[in-house]
Amino acid sequence: MRNRFSFIRNRGAFHRCAVLCALLLFLLSGCAEENPMKAEVLASAGENRAIAGEYDRDLSVKCRNGVFVGLDTDGVLSFKGIPYAKPPVGDLRWQPPVDAAEGEGVFEAYYFGKSPVQTEWPSEPGSYYPQSEDCLTLNVWVNRNNPAADKPVMVFIHGGSYGWGAASDPIYDGHNLVKKFDDLILVTVEYRLGLYGFIDFSGVPGGERYPESGNLGLLDQICALRWVRDNIAGFGGDPGNVTIFGESAGGGSVMLLPLIDGTEGLFRRIIAESGSLNLTSSRDECRNLTELLLKETGCSDMAALAALSEADLKKANEALNDYNNFPERDGLVLPEDLYGAFAEKAAGIDFITGNNADEVRYWVNEMGYTVPLLPPMTVYRHAIEILFENNLARLTPEDRDLVERFLAMQSDERIWNLSEFYNELLFRVPALKQAQLHAENGGKAYNYRFTVSGADETLGACHAMELAYVFDNLGATIYTGGRVNEELANTIQQLWVSFARTGIPRADGISWDLYEPDTRLTLILGDEVRMESDVNGEQRELIEPLLRYYFNGLYSQLSLNVPHVYLLAGCAAAVLAVLIIAAAVIVKRIRRRKAAPRS
């Protein structure tokens, strides 16, 4: 399902090879495979309308920007598609979000708002939902059977590499979690993505009017949190007890938000699943996408870009699918020294951070979407080998030695050893560094490691596998394949929700100790839940020196953000697929000729 970082998912060139393969398969087979997930998502779509007549006041909440009427499903009230900002269109395109205007109107809140504009992709079901630049909405779930006030509030930021994803994704639905924990209020948020939310116009004539364009998606999230602060009490929530949590790019977002001026008092706690401070871009890196956008659209200044129709800009976004920015270290919204700023500004914030044991194996599944005519492992194996050789050649001799020493410590076959290298570099060690620095500065940090696989053992405990567990949406099979540990799911939910309540994660029979600089304790969330000290400590020590590549303009040298890797692997896969199909057609024709009666 969902890819979280474009350092692995920049796949446009690869995707074009997939299109070639898929087209060939269609022509030869005469049929196309239906997409049940797309049908499910589209079936849930609709338009919220103004209500002029009577409405059920027991299902309504008065907010600053209107009265919103929700739906009651088995005792859980849902309010979907509530606008928290003015539509970022027209003169507000590429501008910071503006709080939704105050009003007295009454509106339905039955359907999710539009998804942010993005390319459709099977691992991101929210991308199938109707899209629009007018996307700044949020959703609220509250248990009707518990009328108490001052409930803890959890606000979720979805992942998707800062270029994909949406709160309408079925795996993020809050019904089950709020049904189980009746003292909880859950909020999910849409924010601008890709070139709509993370692009630098400082080098474009007229770009001085858009100084914050490199971090609009983060500013959208802050605007949503302001709305929560001002309105959540009407739903029974405590605006002074808000926990923000996110996964992948969402996990990175919640770690970055404390560094931005104006977020003080908007939240007390953070849960970052498979996300860290590291995945950000420099100004030069962000400007690369801007140059490509100008070439793609033929525009030469901001006036021309701002005048583009929604359809034309979306077309350009599709064409630039190979490229994606992360939040920009612009010195204006985000500081350039992220770790120093985190130590200073986030010292009083409690947080949970962690990752899954086999994060990178997620992209085995992605390869299955990308080149559907070949075994995903075949494509993944070639891609990661090409990638690794490209990365290794660019390192200093000293750093190459660190990598080779790391690989020598592994005992699995090479493909999984390389995967483990990227697991550590891209996910686990950055999270541990944040926990370490936070603990050294007197902050309270907890670290976890999720280790349970789904039905496909090849994927292991891959990226995003834990989401079904967190939201209690165990029927969402896109990662798990339907195989889940229900006892573990209940434990994770208790830990997350109790942390949101009090800042101390608790579950039945589970003691989760703080991450300390000397013990480096991690909670293993597996078939057996236990504490371990300094998990894979020798590997961590070898990887830590390589983290500097994230902040010197060379992060792509140690990432999967190398489009030609996918082009090579994808083209190779496409050629192989063509040869295989052609051979099959030839064999079939030969057999027909042999079977034909002689005249």
Contact 242, 435 (CB under 8 A): no
DSSP annotation of 374: S
From 60, 213, 248, 419, the catalytic residue: 248
Residues pairing with 245 in the sheet: 156, 271
Tracing tokens 């500097």 back to the chain, one arrives at 548
Cite the beta strand spans of 256-307 per DSSP E: 269-273
438 in active site: no
Name the residue among 198, 197, 178 with its Cα closest to residue 188. Answer: 178
Measured CA distances, 532 to 60, 196, 535 (Å): 47, 42, 6
Residues pairing with 272 in the sheet: 246, 353
CA separation for the pair 240, 351 (Å, rounded): 16
Measured CA distances, 501 to 14, 88, 287 (Å): 44, 34, 42
From 359, 366, 420, 424, the catalytic residue: 359
Q: Are strands 269-273 and 350-356 parallel, antiparallel or unpaired?
A: parallel
Name the residue among 193, 224, 78 with its Cα closest to residue 139. Answer: 78
463 in active site: yes
| Helix axes 414-423 and 376-393, enclosed angle (nearest 10) | 60
CA separation for the pair 246, 252 (Å, rounded): 8
From 15, 382, 438, 463, the catalytic residue: 463
Residue 542 tokens, joined: 């070898």
CA separation for the pair 55, 52 (Å, rounded): 9
Residue 214 tokens, joined: 């490199």
Determine the 3-state secondary structure of 46 from DSSP.
coil
Q: Are strands 106-108 and 66-69 parallel, antiparallel or unpaired?
A: parallel
359 in active site: yes
Contact 187, 173 (CB under 8 A): no
Measured CA distances, 206 to 209, 282, 300, 491, 594 (Å): 6, 21, 10, 53, 71
Q: Using CB atoms within 10 Å of the CB of residue 442, give its burial: 0 to 12 exposed, 13 to 18 middle, 19+ buried.
A: exposed
Name the residue among 363, 362, 522 with its Cα closest to residue 435. Answer: 522
CA separation for the pair 1, 479 (Å, rounded): 6
Tracing tokens 């359809």 back to the chain, one arrives at 311
Sheet holding 106-108, edge to edge: 60-63, 66-69, 106-108
The alpha carbons of the chain give a radius of gyration, in whole angstroms, of 24
Task: Indicate if the alpha-carbon torsion angle 456, 457, 463, 468 is positive or negative.
Answer: positive
Residues marked as catalytic: 248, 359, 463
